[in-house]
């Protein structure tokens, strides 16, 4: 809402400076979003006097003038207007001035004649609507004085943020009332009764309201003999300050009343409304599905069945509360005007305005609520103004369809309740005087007041609403700051919340950085990854996505992580190690709310660090990812973990595994398959993993049992076992563990050897299809230092058993 302070100060006394006023408005709930100084845009426009006026030697329509602007030398100016003579005083835009329309005045040559400025019309200065010629100033206008100063144009316009509960503040009168209340100054409501003459309006118009619930009140007035033309300057300046464009005197007056009182009005050309029996017939009804209306903006609108329209017997002539129709628009030929001042339902207006994408000053007000009591008063004032500026006469009476005036709303405000909710010593008297200043009426009651709410405050319907009014005017800054005193509270995180934090701690310790990605996914990710959801599961589809790439909710973290890798690689940041902890979603036919699962995923590409002065950058691979997962599982206290070779479409076969905890698959890890890397524009190797958080939480334990710290040294023996390619490290470790007895304390794999593929036969150290795994075994006792004699037989027995179980041979 744009508020001209010049206008406002006619309605309420403002005896403080602008910044104090703004602070006070801010602190009472009407935020001042911006302060504009107007009139300043007329810098460089001064009052001048035409000294000579001669015809242009080469152009019939131009004249060459000399103009005194108070400088030592008169300016030569070439001018196209004809409505002036030597001796006239006019506004002159000098070289360098910028006009409100954005035009900057430069020294120019017009058909060979130098022009050092421009004499202006009222339209060019945006101070009036007359574009037909120069703005001729009174004879006493002082030459050389800035035109803005002379004309008293400078104004301050406040841009107020009006919250949706305050429709009353969408008018100058409402803002004046609010300012009066918060500044403690008196304000006045402009009202006027028009002088009526001629045949009564009731003889010229009938109104029928078919849906009184959607249109609680409809009034119509008739003006005869209107002369449509430009508005006087004061009217143009007012509505321009409020943000409207001047159109003609009739439309401008309706806009003026909209801004002044908050009542949207519509003026119809009475002759364009179909009449029967000499009476124009206004029908307020819902549209018939498929009906059409060409609105004022020239567009043909197809109407839905619940759209409220103003119609005549032929069809719709306006969208109720939103926009008028082009056919019944007031034009230069209009003589008689039908003035509508009505009240329309909030939901209906907002639905229509939303559906048609039409937001107007009128719809903005109706969708928040317009006071039905205001309609007739606004019609009176508009009629009187219209008579003043258009020379028309006001037909006697208002046709007013108002079946049910609202019952006055009476609320009890309890003083104790007020103080209990706010926690401040606001007295009953203070509360009462605040409410009275806001225009409410009070009766004392046993525990406070009975408060009657005026119809312009539809937001006040409960005691708490009154409490809010009191505290915002009394001053939130005066409320003492305290802490809640509740005794029964304990602040803590749940085990699950602690677990989620631990997951991050472990992965960061493992070198991964946390990422927060979009929860949206591209439906085509399904195909790119080769993903298959569970039986009956489908992705969660958005009805109104921002784009095709974000049309569903992610069902895996994988696609987002790959996009992050590609994003980094394209920007030359190829060392990517990130993890994300976030929800994924799937749904199923017949299901309302989707399933939400918390997952943790990670991705590794490039190296941990760039090569440095003494270290190479080792490319990250499967085992770096696996190490991160192992770090995580250890931190969560998850044991009995197995990695089982698996085939998943988005992972490279042979370099991917399922992560199995106590027999259940809890996730996967692997290097991303080449065709998937291509689909996401990423360069491999890229290792990725994803695990379900809930199963990890279930399997993990936060308690750790103590095991004795070794007191005696261990005996370490190294062995190299030659086995078939198919035998896994896990099988060997398993065989050793079960054969080792209680002295075996630790097994560490320290080498895996295969003959190079291209090694010549003479240099092959292993039989075909074999590999060698070297382990360091440590034996230890908690009772004594072990001797070789004790360990040897145990070790030999272990070797024999392992070889039998796995077909291994001990490498010499």
CA 270 to chain CA centroid, nearest Å: 43
Taking residues 364 to 393 in sequence order and writing x for each that binds other proteins by CB under 8 A, - otherwise, the string is: ---x--------------------------
Which position among 206, 211, 550, 631 is part of the footprint of other proteins (CB under 8 A)? 550
CA atoms within 13 A on the CB side of 720: 12
Q: CB of 550: closest distance to other proteins in angstroms?
A: 8
ω into residue 624 within 30 of 0, thus cis? no
Judged by beta carbon, residue 33 or residue 297, the one nearer other proteins is 33
Quick check: 564 binds other proteins (CB under 8 A)?
yes
* Binding of residue 294 to other proteins (CB under 8 A): no
Tokens of 211: 């849906």
Of residues 517, 554, 500, 513, the one with CA closest to residue 696? 500
Half-sphere exposure of 632 (CA within 13 A, CB side): 30
Calpha distance 312→354 (Å, rounded):
25
Q: Which residues contact 752 (CB under 8 A, 6 or more apart)?
A: 729, 771, 772, 773, 774
Q: According to the binding rule CB under 8 A, does residue 427 interact with other proteins? A: no
Position 352 contacts other proteins (CB under 8 A): no
- The residue from 333, 482, 707, 784 that contacts other proteins (CB under 8 A) is 482
| DSSP one-letter code for 44 | T
For residue 20, state whether it binds other proteins (rule: CB under 8 A).
no
576 binds other proteins, rule: CB under 8 A: yes
Candidates 72, 492, 709, 761; binder of other proteins (CB under 8 A) is: 492
Q: Does 634 participate in binding other proteins (rule CB under 8 A)? A: no
Q: Shortest gap between Cβ of 238 and other proteins (angstroms)?
A: 27
The nearest distance, CB 694 to other proteins, in angstroms, is 13
Q: Which is nearer to other proteins, 294 or 597 (CB)?
A: 597
Task: Confirm or reject binding of residue 132 to other proteins (CB under 8 A).
Answer: no
Give whichever of 1 and 204 is closer to other proteins, judged by the CB atom. 1
Of the candidate residues 61, 208, 302, 462, the single one contacting other proteins (CB under 8 A): 462
Per rule CB under 8 A, is residue 28 in the interface with other proteins? Answer: yes
The correct pick among 80, 396, 511, 695 for binding other proteins (CB under 8 A) is: 511
Indicate if the alpha-carbon torsion angle 88, 89, 95, 101 is positive or negative.
negative
d(CA 372, CA 405): 8
Q: Please report how close the Cβ of residue 539 comes to other proteins at its closest, in angstroms.
A: 10
Task: Report if residue 471 touches other proteins, rule: CB under 8 A.
Answer: yes
User: Could you say which of 486, 760, 769, 793 contacts other proteins (CB under 8 A)?
Assistant: 486
Consecutive H or E run containing 269: strand 265-269
Distance between CA atoms of residues 133 and 121, nearest Å = 6
Closest CA to 690 of 596, 796, 540, 557: 557
Smallest gap from residue 505 Cβ to other proteins (A): 9
Of residues 54 and 541, the one with the C-beta less far from other proteins: 541
- Among 5, 95, 274, 424, indicate the residue that binds other proteins (CB under 8 A): 424
In the sheet with 448-453, reading across from the earlier edge strand, the strands are 409-414, 448-453, 441-445
> Contact between 307 and other proteins (CB under 8 A)?
no
Q: Find the binder of other proteins among 519, 733, 747, 790 (CB under 8 A).
A: 519
- 567 or 753: whose CB is closer to other proteins? 567
Under rule CB under 8 A, which residues in 29-68 are in contact with other proteins?
A: 29, 31
Query: 472 Cβ partners below 8 Å, 6+ apart?
Result: 28, 29
Q: Which of 213, 534, 593, 704 binds other proteins (CB under 8 A)?
A: 593
Give the integer Cα–Cα distance in Å for 289 and 276.
25
Contact between 302 and 290 (Cβ < 8 Å): yes
For other proteins, the closer CB: 264 or 539: 539
Nearer to other proteins, 15 or 614 (CB): 614
Phi-psi group of 475: left, alpha or beta (phi > 0 → left; psi -120 to 50 → alpha; rest → beta): left
Kindly tell me which of 333 and 482 has the beta carbon lying closer to other proteins.
Answer: 482
102 or 590: CB nearest other proteins: 590
Per DSSP bridges, beta strands 664-672 and 448-453 are: unpaired
Six-digit token string for 466: 């009154």
Supply the minimum distance, in Å, between the C-beta of residue 613 and other proteins. 6
Please, which contacts does 436-443 make with residues 24 or more away whose CB atoms are closer than 8 Å? 437/180, 437/181, 437/184, 437/473, 438/177, 438/178, 438/181, 438/469, 438/473, 439/177, 439/181, 440/466
Q: Does 694 bind other proteins (CB under 8 A)?
A: no
Binding status of residue 544 toward other proteins by CB under 8 A: yes
Q: State how far the Cα of 32 lies from the Cα of 466, in Å rounded to an integer.
A: 23
Does residue 573 bind other proteins (CB under 8 A)? yes
In the block, tokens 């990890």 appear at: 696
Q: Which residue in the set 140, 488, 763, 789 belongs to the binding site for other proteins (CB under 8 A)?
A: 488
The correct pick among 545, 637, 684, 695 for binding other proteins (CB under 8 A) is 545
Nearest approach, Cβ of 6 to other proteins (angstroms)?
A: 23
Closest distance of CB 776 from other proteins, Å:
24
Span from 75-83, 134-142, 312-320, 608-616 in contact with other proteins (CB under 8 A) = 608-616
Q: Is 613 in the site for other proteins (CB under 8 A)?
A: yes
Count the residues of the shown chain that bind other proteins, applying the rule CB under 8 A.
99
Q: Residue 281 or residue 537: which is nearer to other proteins going by CB?
A: 537
Dihedral sign computed on CA atoms, order 79, 81, 87, 88 = negative
Residue 347 as a binder of other proteins (CB under 8 A): the answer is: yes
Residue 789 and residue 811: Cα distance in Å, rounded?
Answer: 22
Q: Six-digit token pair at 710? A: 């070794």
Q: State the binding string over 152-181 for other proteins (x if CB under 8 A, else -).
A: -----------xxxx---------------
Binding of other proteins by 342 (CB under 8 A): no
3 pairs with which residues across the strands? 158
608 lines the binding site for other proteins (CB under 8 A)? yes
The encoded tokens of residue 225 equal 């003999």
Q: From CA 310, how far away is CA 362, in angstroms rounded? A: 15
Cβ neighbors of 370 (< 8 A, separation 6 or more) are 167, 262, 263, 264, 343, 344
Contacts for 492 with CB less than 8 Å, ≥ 6 apart: none
DSSP 180-194: HHHHT--B-------
**Tokens 């006055």 found at:** 408
């Amino acid at each position: 809402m744009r508020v001209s302070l010049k206008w406002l100060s006619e309605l309420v006394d403002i005896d403080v400076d602008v910044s104090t006023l703004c602070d006070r408005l801010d602190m009472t709930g009407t935020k001042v979003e911006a302060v504009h100084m107007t009139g300043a845009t007329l810098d460089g426009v001064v009052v001048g006097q035409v000294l000579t006026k001669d015809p242009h030697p080469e152009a019939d329509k131009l004249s060459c003038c000399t103009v005194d602007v108070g400088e030592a030398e008169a300016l030569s100016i070439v001018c196209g207007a004809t409505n002036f003579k030597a001796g006239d005083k006019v506004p002159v835009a000098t070289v360098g001035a910028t006009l409100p329309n954005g035009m900057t005045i430069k020294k120019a040559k017009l058909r060979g004649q130098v022009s050092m400025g421009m004499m202006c019309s009222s339209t060019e200065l945006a101070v009036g609507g007359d574009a037909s010629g120069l703005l001729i100033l009174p004879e006493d206008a002082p030459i050389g004085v800035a035109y803005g100063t002379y004309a008293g144009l400078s104004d301050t316009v406040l841009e107020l943020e009006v919250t949706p509960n305050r429709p009353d503040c969408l008018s100058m009168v409402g803002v004046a009332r609010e300012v009066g209340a918060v500044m403690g100054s008196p304000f006045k409501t402009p009202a006027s009764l028009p002088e009526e003459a001629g045949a009564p309006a009731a003889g010229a118009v009938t109104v029928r309201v078919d849906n009184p619930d959607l249109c609680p009140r409809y009034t119509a007035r008739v003006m005869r003999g209107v002369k449509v033309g430009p508005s006087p300057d004061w009217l143009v300046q007012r509505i321009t300050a409020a943000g409207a464009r001047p159109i003609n005197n009739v439309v401008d007056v309706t806009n003026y009343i909209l801004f002044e009182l908050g009542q949207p009005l519509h003026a119809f050309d009475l002759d364009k409304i179909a009449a029967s029996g000499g009476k124009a017939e206004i029908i307020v009804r819902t549209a018939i599905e498929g009906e059409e209306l060409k609105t004022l903006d020239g567009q043909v609108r197809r109407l839905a069945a619940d759209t409220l329209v103003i119609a005549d017997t032929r069809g719709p002539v306006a969208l109720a509360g939103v926009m008028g129709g082009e056919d019944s628009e007031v034009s230069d030929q209009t003589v008689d005007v039908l003035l509508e001042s009505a009240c329309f339902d909030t939901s209906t207006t907002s639905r229509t305005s939303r559906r048609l994408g039409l937001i107007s000053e009128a719809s903005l007000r109706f969708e928040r609520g317009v006071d039905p009591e205001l309609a007739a008063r606004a019609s009176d004032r508009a009629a009187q103004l219209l008579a003043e500026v258009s020379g028309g006469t006001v037909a006697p009476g208002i046709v007013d369809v108002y079946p049910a005036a609202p019952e006055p709303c009476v609320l009890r405000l309890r003083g104790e309740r007020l103080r209990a909710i706010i926690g401040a010593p606001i007295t009953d008297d203070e509360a009462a005087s605040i409410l009275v200043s806001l225009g409410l009426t009070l009766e004392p009651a046993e525990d406070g007041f009975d408060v009657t709410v005026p119809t312009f405050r539809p937001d006040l319907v409960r005691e708490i609403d009154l409490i809010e009014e009191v505290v915002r005017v009394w001053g939130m800054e005066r409320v003492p700051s305290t802490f809640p005193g509740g005794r029964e509270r304990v602040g803590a995180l749940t085990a699950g919340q602690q677990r989620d934090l631990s997951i991050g701690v472990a992965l960061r310790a493992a070198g991964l950085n946390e990422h927060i990605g979009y929860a949206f996914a591209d439906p085509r990710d399904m195909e790119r990854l080769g993903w298959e959801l569970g039986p009956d599961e489908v992705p969660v589809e958005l009805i109104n996505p921002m784009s095709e790439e974000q049309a569903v909710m992610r069902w895996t973290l994988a696609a987002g992580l790959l996009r992050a890798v590609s994003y980094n690689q394209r920007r030359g940041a190829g060392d990517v190690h990130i993890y994300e902890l976030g929800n994924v979603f799937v749904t199923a036919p017949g299901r309302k709310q989707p399933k939400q699962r918390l997952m943790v995923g990670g991705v590794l590409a490039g190296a941990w660090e760039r090569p440095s002065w003494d270290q190479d950058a080792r490319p990250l691979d499967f085992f770096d990812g696996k190490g991160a997962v192992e770090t995580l599982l250890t931190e969560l206290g998850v044991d009995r973990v197995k990695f089982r070779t698996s085939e998943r479409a988005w992972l490279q076969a042979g370099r991917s595994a399922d992560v199995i905890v106590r027999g259940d698959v809890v996730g996967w890890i692997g290097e991303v398959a080449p065709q998937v890397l291509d689909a996401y524009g990423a360069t491999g190797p890229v290792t990725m993993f994803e695990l379900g958080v809930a199963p990890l939480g279930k399997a993990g334990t936060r308690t750790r049992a103590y095991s004795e710290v070794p007191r005696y040294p261990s005996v370490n023996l190294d062995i190299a076992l030659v086995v078939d390619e198919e035998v896994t490290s896990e099988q060997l470790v398993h065989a050793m563990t079960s054969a080792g007895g209680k002295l075996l304390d630790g097994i560490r794999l320290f080498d895996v050897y295969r003959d190079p593929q291209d090694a010549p036969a003479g240099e092959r150290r292993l039989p075909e299809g074999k590999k060698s795994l070297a382990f360091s075994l440590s034996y230890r006792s908690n009772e004594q230092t072990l001797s070789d004699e004790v360990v040897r037989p145990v070790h030999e027995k272990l070797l024999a058993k392992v070889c039998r179980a796995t077909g291994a041979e001990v490498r010499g």
